[in-house]
Amino acid sequence: KAGVTQTPRYLIKTRGQQVTLSCSPISGHRSVSWYQQTPGQGLQFLFEYFSETQRNKGNFPGRFSGRQFSNSRSEMNVSTLELGDSALYLCASSLLSLAGGKETQYFGPGTRLLVL
Amino acid sequence: GESVGLHLPTLSVQEGDNSIINCAYSNSASDYFIWYKQESGKGPQFIIDIRSNMDKRQGQRVTVLLNKTVKHLSLQIAATQPGDSAVYFCAENVMEYGNKLVFGAGTILRVKS
């Protein structure tokens, strides 16, 4: 079974630009979460989507947004990029049982974003 | 606010020895805990998980121990191998927060041959 895939793997942008990152979850997985990883702050939760709805949101400014499509694929967008947005952006998917039990999150390889 | 660089603790072990990586979690309401391994240039890889109604769980060469009294989690790796060299993260989850994981800072494991 193919794992979580993320595109692109590497990206260079300049301040003020916007960027869209894509994530394809493991087949059958319906929940997609996004995380930002930086040397300074570690791994931080951005948001989670399930059935095309945002279920949870982390403590990030409104410049960070996301969405999920009917096939569970997800995108996240960062507008008006700042130097501090340089990070590894990770996507994780999980099956999410309807009983609400905990489901393991499996991570993709990430997209490395560099803002100049 | 201004960010402060994380200084990750490092554990150096000899190949074949057992490793113990510790983690203190923050939320007493957390009811699900996971250990991830992250190698350079890759995303975190699931190792093992444990729910709050357990205090020990074993996998292949790995054991996770949970002490809810002191909010402490540990990962034991038996017969550590060079391929175990990576950064290890513990993560906690609260059911009411859905799938939001709160990660620890991480521990670097270096295996000497």
Question: Are B99 and A104 a contacting pair at CB < 8 A?
Answer: no
Q: Note the pLDDT of residue B5.
A: 52
b/e string for A67-86 if b means 16 or more Cβ within 10 A? bbeeebbbbbebeebeeebb
Q: How distant is the Cα of B85 from the closest Cα of chain A, in angstroms? A: 18
Q: Note the pLDDT of residue B94.
A: 78
Q: Note the pLDDT of residue B3.
A: 37
B 24-63 near A (Cβ less than 8 A): 31-32, 34, 36, 41-46, 49, 51
Q: How distant is the Cα of B19 from the closest Cα of chain A, in angstroms? A: 23
- The answer to whether residues B65 and B56 touch, using CB atoms and an 8 Å cutoff, is yes
- Residue-level pLDDT, tens digit, chain B, 113 residues: 333 456 789 999 999 999 999 999 988 889 899 999 999 999 999 999 999 999 999 999 999 999 999 999 999 999 999 999 999 999 998 777 677 899 999 999 999 99
Query: What's the pLDDT tens digit per position in A70-111?
Result: 999 999 999 999 999 999 999 999 987 555 556 789 999 999
